[in-house]
Structure 1
Amino acid sequence: MSARRSPDQDGQGVVVVGLGRFGSYLAGSLGQLGHEVLAIDRDPAVVQRWGSRLDRVVQADATDEATLRQLGVADYVRVVVCIGASVEASVLTVLALGEVGGPEIWARATSGKHARILSAVGARHVVFPEAETGERVAHLIVSKMLDFIEFDDNFAIAKVRVPPTLVGRGLGDITPAECHGVLVVGAKQPGHRFGYAAPDTVLAEGCLLIVEGTIDQVQRFAGLS
């Protein structure tokens, strides 16, 4: 293990436990966003592979409370348990983190039962990366949406191309909220960046829109011809 070092001063340090496919992508993305990352994995080959790519990578057993304390995990803001291959190791790591105290615990689950156990032993947020990605891609495959984010209560925000029937018309004339049940919150005219949509926004051919509404409403709007 490397010497202990405190997380970044703005309080955005994150601990990532488990450098499998999900954990390594997560750690790399956090680093690119400017956050200090403490990555922990028990496999020396994995640690060696990521040692030069991440800010701080250590070989350690994250199920051991004493080890977590030695690494200074309690000084970090959040910890994400990305272990997927072993449910036992995942649960024991969350338990150990709860004993250490300090960071907000996020954890990856591979099943509904796994998620319930993680929540019961102290995980504040439980994520299903494979299931969430699969559902999102399914929506994109069967619709004309270009990108898609689903929230609770069947609410979604999507990026769509302006439907052909609406080209050349202004949002004030179209009234998408009244006619289609969606709110157009952003528009990207050809050759320009995204900006907030307004009633006087005219939808040129090739324009991209950010719309929000129920999943069915957004899909129907994207499919207008």
Structure 2
Amino acid sequence: MSARRSDGGGIVVIGLGRFGCHLAASLTRMDREVLAVDRNPAQVQRFSDKIDRVVQADSTEEGALRQLGVASFARAVVAIGASVEASVLTVLALVELGVPQIWARATSQKHAKILSSVGAHHVIFPEAETGDRVAHLIVSRLLDFVEFDDDFAIATVRVPESFVGRTLLDLRPDERSGVRVIGAKVPGERFRYASDDTTLTQGGVLIVEGGIDQVQRFAGRR
């Protein structure tokens, strides 16, 4: 097993469904210490060669989690989606163990309220968040899109043809379009911070931030 960055105890991922397995694998690729837990032996076997430490256990049982050393981990993610009862009981068990940060996946607003009330520090809706993001990508020319609240986003867009060869000082997108260009990428090179003298190139990519409507309109420029 390769050395992993523990950051004070690593991360426990409980539930190896579609969301949980992708999360655990991504954290592993980021060189994080991961303990993955699932009650289904078939799931444990399936991911045993993709994640450093995968164990079969009933996460609703505080004693089982204690035996696995979960109390020594800094963060835990309850990725269970199939059973509301199991996810709530797992959060309760993690609270009893004193895990400092508990993230929990919710499948409904009611589920989210219950998770928060029993001690989850962060409640996430991966399906809804992914759906919103994909919707923006489908209806626009955006390459990627991250929404931070009801009216702010950061996105990547291709340099419009009409902008090629011009500088940001000349274009003044903050004044004319209501967005700020914070990064630019020339084909074949890495992203760099943008400045007034950044010249936009054919086939280049920009990172822009601003209101959602403004970002969408900017992305639609020709």
The reply to whether TM is greater than 0.5 is: yes
Is residue 53 of structure 1 aligned with residue 39 of structure 2?
A: no
- Answer yes or no: is the 8 Å Cα contact 1:81–1:105 preserved in 2: yes
Q: 1:12: how far off? A: 5.3
CA distance in 2, matches of 1:9, 1:41: 21
- Answer yes or no: is the 8 Å Cα contact 1:75–1:103 preserved in 2: no
Q: 1:162: how far off? A: 1.0
Q: 1:9: how far off? A: 4.9
Cross-structure match for 1:169:
166
Gaps of 5+ in 2: none
Q: 1:52: how far off? A: 2.0
The Cα offsets for residues 6-30 of structure 1, whole Å up to 9 and x where unpaired, read as x955425100000011000000000
Cross-structure match for 2:124:
127
CA distance in 2, matches of 1:132, 1:90: 19
Decide which of 101, 112, 115 is 1:115's aligned counterpart: 112
Number of matched residues? 219
Is residue 205 of structure 1 aligned with residue 202 of structure 2?
A: yes
How many percent identity over aligned positions? 68
CA distance in 2, matches of 1:22, 1:56: 17
Q: 1:102: how far off? A: 2.5
CA distance in 2, matches of 1:197, 1:135: 28
Is residue 21 of structure 1 aligned with residue 1 of structure 2?
A: no
- Answer yes or no: is the 8 Å Cα contact 2:6–2:32 preserved in 1: no
Decide which of 127, 135, 139 is 1:138's aligned counterpart: 135
Cross-structure match for 1:178:
175
**Residue 52 of structure 1 aligns to a residue in which SS?**
coil
CA distance in 2, matches of 1:85, 1:214: 36
Cross-structure match for 1:150:
147
Moved over 6 A (4+): none
**What's the TM-score once normalised by structure 2's chain length?**
0.95
Cross-structure match for 1:88:
85
- Answer yes or no: is the 8 Å Cα contact 1:157–1:210 preserved in 2: yes
- Answer yes or no: is the 8 Å Cα contact 1:156–1:213 preserved in 2: yes
**What's the TM-score once normalised by structure 1's chain length?**
0.94
Cross-structure match for 1:3:
none
- Answer yes or no: is the 8 Å Cα contact 2:6–2:33 preserved in 1: no
CA distance in 2, matches of 1:133, 1:109: 14
**Residue 145 of structure 1 aligns to a residue in which SS?**
coil
- Answer yes or no: is the 8 Å Cα contact 1:161–1:209 preserved in 2: yes
User: In angstroms, what is the RMSD of aligned CA positions?
Assistant: 1.2
Q: 1:197: how far off? A: 0.6
Gaps of 5+ in 1: 1-6
